[in-house]
Copies of this chain bind each other. A is one copy, B any other.
Amino acid sequence: MSHDTVVTAAMLAIGDELLSGRTKDKNIGHLAELLTLSGIDLKEVRIVADDEEAIVEALNALRARYDYVFTSGGIGPTHDDITADAIAKAFGLPCDHDETAMTLLAEMYRRREMEFTEARQRMARMPRGAAHIANPVSTAPGFIIGNVYVMAGVPQVFQAMIDNVLPMLRTGTPVLSLAIACPYGEGDIGTPLAAIQKAHPDTSIGSYPRYIDQKFSTEIVVRGRAQAAIDAAGAEVHAMIGAIRRKKEVVENPSAEA
């Protein structure tokens, strides 16, 4: 296990609309999936309002603790889009109209015969020295400053930006997983599963209850960074399910005991 590389990340989703329930976030789950596939461990997510103090505090806590921080939301052209300013403030940097971003946006609006308004120019603002994250959907770039990746909240744009960002990241040893469908509820498997977890400390075994038609079943997921360790724990999980099945058959139909 000592040769495994662990890379950690956090996400900061920004926007009043996520906290009012008006918008149901779609970016957290998407990022979580992509990071898992890349071998980057998403350790924490926070959602905060369009409030400078809240953004600065959360960002400084997260960027000090994790290798990467990914943000979504608040980089559009309206007065409530304050993410660029808040992030500049968190880093103690001025927030300027970036020259390359101004050129990109000016050209795009000229091509579309649209006015490059003062509001649209706000989308070129970023902390001084930030690098761009290309936005193939609507041109206005996200940006990278330190270990923080600042992206749009609109899911189509967020997804395009994260696709551009992923190849730049240092990745860890991927976490592999084995999912096993279990027809029994957590109450049936809890005690034997805890014993399996204890015997296989190089895996992390999770059990996820499902409640369908007034009946609980479980999905058991064995995670780890070594396939052999996962396979060994997985074999014991299958044996456990078989043992519970046989025990239940005996209870329901005592003649099966013979």
Tell me, yes or no, whether A54 is within 8 Å of chain B by CB.
yes
- The yes or no answer to A86 lying at the interface (CB within 8 A) is no
The answer to whether A172 has its CB under 8 Å from any CB of chain B is: no
A36: which B residues are within 8 A, CB to CB? 20-21
Q: Is the CB of A194 within 8 A of B20?
A: no
Number of copies: 2
Query: Would A79 and B197 count as touching, CB distance under 8 A?
Result: yes
Known: A29-B25, A209-B154. A78 touches B45 (CB 8 A): no
Partner of A80, one of B16, B24, B154, B206: B206
Q: Which residues of B contact A16 (CB under 8 A)?
A: 204, 206
Residues of chain B contacted by A46 (CB below 8 angstroms): 44-47
Report yes or no: A21 in contact with B48, Cβ–Cβ below 8 A. Answer: no
A78 and B189 contact, Cβ closer than 8 Å, known pairs A21-B32, A28-B47, A47-B44: yes
- In the complex, chain A residues 30-67 whose Cβ is within 8 Å of any chain B Cβ: 30-36, 41-50, 54, 58
A2 an interface residue at 8 Å Cβ cutoff? no
> Which segment, of A91-99, A117-125, A141-149, A227-235, faces chain B?
A117-125
Q: Are A77 and B43 in contact (CB under 8 A)?
A: no
Distance in angstroms from A211 CB to nearest chain B CB is: 5
Q: Which residue of B lies closest to A140 (CB)?
A: B187
Whether A22 sits at the interface, judged by CB under 8 Å, is: yes
For A150, list chain B residues within 8 Å (CB): none
